[in-house]
Amino acid sequence: MPPPFLLSPINDAVFKMIFGDSHDIGHLTNFLKSALTIPPEDYEEVFLPDPHLMRDGWGDKLSILDVKLRTRSGKLVDIEIQLVDQPDLRERIVFYLAKMVTEQIGAGDPYRNIQRTICILITDFKLIVENTSYHNRYRLHDAASGSEFTDLLEVNTLELPKLPRNTDGSTLWDWLGFLKAKSKEEFVMLAEKNPEVKKAVAKLMTLTEDEQARMVADARDKMRWDIESRERAAKKEGHEEGREEGRGEGREERQLEIARRLLARNRPIEEIIEDTGLTLEQIQALTLH
């Protein structure tokens, strides 16, 4: 009997199973074409340096499950999903980009060997508050004249909460709609609209029926919830009170969303209370809607 739910594509483990599979590179290249300004022929050869999904040894910290690749001409791309805002997120992205640059050359190598290095950051929260665009592209440029210094460094932010309800006609909207979708009806609608997304939906359905894939995805979810639970406990003891002031409402909404997903998976109420920190009354209220 098939599971009554589909795995979430924004679970970073599931995302890597779909877009980080070296034997099924089409989903990745079609997604990249929708987001980046790279010549199509550059995707004729895409190399994944680390195509294997780490399944063990995550330890106490939530390791980053990103997708790294190199294009035909040598451009380096790193794709990462971030579900919860972190205070040092922007600094970490800059550090990773810089590291990807320095790792390209050794002592005595000419600097001209440095290839364009790109980060795609997908967030399930609003990161760029200065505008309402769901896709922002950042490079090194002069703030006054707008002239570009170089395109060797690039950060693309894709913010799912900013995605319009109705399509804007772009293939990027289709792909982000796929990542954001929660119900089978939404996935079917996107599959009917875009044949490339349809292939990704088919793979998602296959993964959902794979017991090992579900176990990995559940482990990632549980690890993230455990970390958030420990953070809540620290806050109750008075830690980080100043920095976190005013953010309780947003965090509660995220916990309610997690509870909705767990209810859809028929998880026990006691387990949902433990994983989310919500009260029995709050969870029961969700079942009435």
Which tens digit of pLDDT belongs to each residue from 245-271?
A: 445 556 778 888 888 877 777 677 777
Q: What is the mean pLDDT of residues 2-23?
A: 86
Q: Check whether 109 has a pLDDT greater than 50.
A: yes
Residue with tokens 């210094």: 149
150-174 CB burial, b ≥16 within 10 A, e <16: eebbbbbbbbbebbeeeeeeebbbb
Element (H, E) at 18: helix 12-19
Between residues 84 and 178, the one the model is more confident about: 178
Q: Which residues neighbour 126 within 8 Å (Cβ) at sequence distance 6 or greater?
A: 159, 161, 162
Q: Check whether 56 has a pLDDT greater than 50.
A: no
